[in-house]
């Protein structure tokens, strides 16, 4: 089926006879595979008598050889379909794969965001990216790391046609109030000694319609007005991650604290911090040198950190 998709990805018309010859199957078998493509991958295929079949939108599939040629620092694994790239990365760690390495997928069947939320993952439209790193020296090496990843994602987006991309504590990248990217870090191993961290990143790239998303969102294509080459985005994001992670390893999060705060879109805003069933209202002061959120709550400054916290704008902000 994916061989057929590779023949159609240029967005041009291809006759059923030519497709059958290329695949070594009958025209009726071609028709069945086309129906599978539409049903399983959610693709739209135009069928015109006398001309053949055409994808409604051309596709550029992820190419591990092209990515590796331009970004040789990390081994790359590309999957047509996985439950989630983070889950695949964690399985690879369990199987003894040597870090660092990168896991990419054309689609996720069970993509995950923070706090167990579903991450909508249509085929070949967005970027589903998980980088595995080996961490030595305990938890101190992880202080503020999710915020550092946010800086790298933001810079990659700005360099790819989204100049207004900014940050929302702790793990989102926004354009205005619309989400364009999210980050999910997962840890396995001994946090006091040697462990592995999976840097999971989801970026809305060429997606234009997504009825399942339950919040305001946007994509690179919607913001820039043109399709984005996801292979080039993988290379750009990887280079930004390499740069920012190196700075973090050398000098800790404190060296990047000011840059992160300058790009926090909700600086000075009235917000609600949600933790389970509890809610804390305050005004954003900034972040501390460990990446925790600083709020003014009832006139008193307080700091908050933790993976299960969620920040929302208050109605009066």
Q: Which residues are catalytic?
A: 114, 179, 312
Q: Helices 27-41 and 16-23 sit at what angle, rounded to 10 degrees? A: 90
Residue 178, annotated as binding a ligand: no
How far is residue 62's CA from residue 123's CA, in Å, rounded to a whole number?
A: 11
Residue 231, annotated as binding a ligand: no
Residue 85, annotated as binding a ligand: yes
Residue 179, annotated as binding a ligand: yes
Question: Any residues with CB less than 8 A from the CB of 126 and at least 6 apart, and which?
Answer: 202, 203, 204, 205, 206, 207, 219, 230
How far is residue 169's CA from residue 244's CA, in Å, rounded to a whole number?
A: 17
DSSP state of 118: B
Residue 113, annotated as binding a ligand: yes
Q: For residue 74, which of 276, 220, 300, 239 has the smallest C-alpha distance?
A: 239
DSSP state of 287: E
Greatest Cα pair distance in the chain? 74
How far is residue 247's CA from residue 221's CA, in Å, rounded to a whole number?
A: 30
As annotated, the binding site includes 84-86, 108, 112-114, 179
Binding residues for biotin: 84-86, 108, 112-114, 179
């Amino acid at each position: 089926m994916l061989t057929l998709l590779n023949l159609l990805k240029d967005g041009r018309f291809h006759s059923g006879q030519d497709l059958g010859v290329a695949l070594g199957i009958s025209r009726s078998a071609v028709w069945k595979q086309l129906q599978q493509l539409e049903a399983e991958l959610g693709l739209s295929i135009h069928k015109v008598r006398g001309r053949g079949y055409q994808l409604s939108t051309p596709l550029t599939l992820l190419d591990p050889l092209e990515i590796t040629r331009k970004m040789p620092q990390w081994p790359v694994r590309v999957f047509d379909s996985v439950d989630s790239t983070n889950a695949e990365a964690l399985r690879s760690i369990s199987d003894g794969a040597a870090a660092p390495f990168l896991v990419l997928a054309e689609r996720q069947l069970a993509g995950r965001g923070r706090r167990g939320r579903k991450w909508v993952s249509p085929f070949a439209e967005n970027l589903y990216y998980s980088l595995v790193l080996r961490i030595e020296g305990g938890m101190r090496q992880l202080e503020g790391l999710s915020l550092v990843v946010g800086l790298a994602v933001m810079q990659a987006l700005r360099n790819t046609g989204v100049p207004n991309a900014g940050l929302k504590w702790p793990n989102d990248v926004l354009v205005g109030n619309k989400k364009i990217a999210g980050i999910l870090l997962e840890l396995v191993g001994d946090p006091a000694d040697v462990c592995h961290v999976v840097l999971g990143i989801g970026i809305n790239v060429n997606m234009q319609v997504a009825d399942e998303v339950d919040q305001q969102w946007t994509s690179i294509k919607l913001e820039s007005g043109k399709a984005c080459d996801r292979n080039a985005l993988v290379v750009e994001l990887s280079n930004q991650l390499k740069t920012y992670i190196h700075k973090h390893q050398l000098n800790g999060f404190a060296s990047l604290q000011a840059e992160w705060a300058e790009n926090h879109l909700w600086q000075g805003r009235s917000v609600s911090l949600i933790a389970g069933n509890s809610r804390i209202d305050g005004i954003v002061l900034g972040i501390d040198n460990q990446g925790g959120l600083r709020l003014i709550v009832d006139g008193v400054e307080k700091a908050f950190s933790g993976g299960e916290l969620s920040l929302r704008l208050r109605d009066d902000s």
